[in-house]
Structure 1
């Protein structure tokens, strides 16, 4: 990547000016020349000997894991309450009654994340690296998927909604123009706000200049045969196959840059 500020290579002590290509190591807050391979780095041990540095293993996470756990927790709590209140008929009541909508929403959300996560994992390569279900520190929020590719970082929110996504533009001569995201007749504009916040979280974690894209991916929406994808306020709205094509597109980021950005985000955003 290209550095925002000047630095010194931790390996050879060469001066690296701002905008120079280099590798930023977030854990130690140091930089190194792109010619120095991190996998071949060594460190000093007692007696003056050297040994290979420990390889930094990245946990890519499990798609939909936190949503699935929340669904199971709510389901189990309801069943426990019913059995406590109705010792004899609890099992029958559970079998004949339906879960609350607030509980099934977690199941639906988890299914959408799991489905998209499976498709994303099929793209994994040196230039398409993935993170799933990442917790945003000091909040209860999470990011469904992050893809680090040759064309930049994609912050992806997966949604399993029915209906056709479309953009409604309101306003004009006498009042500001406003874009609203609708899925069928359902106003989903707040989803765009959510993705933009997630994009800013990711941007703040990177001290390097890489493109960051916000994405809303509707996995079971009623998309038209021709066209359909669009962008609103910088957030791409599309379906899985269209997303996969964009993630696999050729870009300017080399595989070592992709790996470094992936590692930085994996450590800063732990699995949820």
Structure 2
């Protein structure tokens, strides 16, 4: 592309005047010379597509159901499908994909100093990590949940005679297993960062939930339970660290491939 503004080649450091033809690397929002004399070869990690694996699972279940119904009812299959909805277990995958896509859009509000990976496989398991954000304040492991009009709340038991235990409630129902899922993701990401990892935060981010007007966010066993706008604020305003963001971005992209 022809640069609208002056810049610097991120490989060799050469000054690039406005109007110069250069390569714009969208993933890192940097530019480099078309014929850079730097001998370092860089491969931009694949950032992934938010919600991709959940949407594939939804389509697989939907197609399987359609095939079963049309096979069992050759003449009335189309009518049955038109008059009935997918089961909740199938719709949940579509809702999950939408939640990941919406949060990915919100994460574009992060400054250029952050790098984000979406929909990452956890090797050796069938699980995935919705989003991993790497920035000057640390590494943020984020699980997106879309629970429309349901209120997340902290429920505490014990603390005086009995040991204190913390639980997550969502619309009055126990959702503590979601906390355990983020803790597992957090452990895997921390292990992948090596012997001296930067601060790593686990986040359960609820979209379209019934949050109160005042307060609302909390932690359960060290996992932040929060909404998107406040999450961006916390990520950018936390204490900055000495972090090589690009190196950690590449390391985590290799450790957790795109789903």
How many residue pairs get matched?
Answer: 226
Is structure 2 residue 222 aligned with structure 1 residue 269?
no
Aligned equivalents of 1:221 and 1:51: distance in 2? 50
Matching residue of 2:118: 132
Pairwise CA distance, 1:112 = 0.7
Matching residue of 2:188: 201
Matching residue of 2:226: 238
Counterparts in 2 of 1:81 and 1:241: CA distance versus 1, 3 Å: same
Pairwise CA distance, 1:209 = 2.8
Q: 2:158 aligns with which of 156, 168, 171?
A: 171
1:86-131, Cα deviation, whole Å (9 max, x unpaired): 1121111100011111111111111111111111134251x11100
Pairwise CA distance, 1:251 = 4.2
SS at match of 1:248: helix
TM-score, structure 1 length as denominator?
A: 0.78
Does the CA-based 8 Å contact 2:109-2:232 persist in structure 1?
no
Matching residue of 1:86: 73
Matching residue of 1:13: none
Matching residue of 2:128: 142
- Find runs of 4+ consecutive structure 1 residues off by over 6 angstroms: none
SS at match of 1:259: helix
Aligned equivalents of 1:267 and 1:174: distance in 2? 47
Matching residue of 1:106: 93
Over the aligned positions, Cα root-mean-square deviation in angstroms equals 2.0
Q: 1:69 aligns with which of 31, 38, 56?
A: 56
Counterparts in 2 of 1:38 and 1:269: CA distance versus 1, 3 Å: farther
1:201-255, Cα deviation, whole Å (9 max, x unpaired): 000001243000000000011001111111121111100000111222264345x
5+ residue gaps, structure 1? 1-36, 41-49
5+ residue gaps, structure 2? 1-8, 13-36
- Which stretch shifts more, 182-191 or 244-253? 244-253
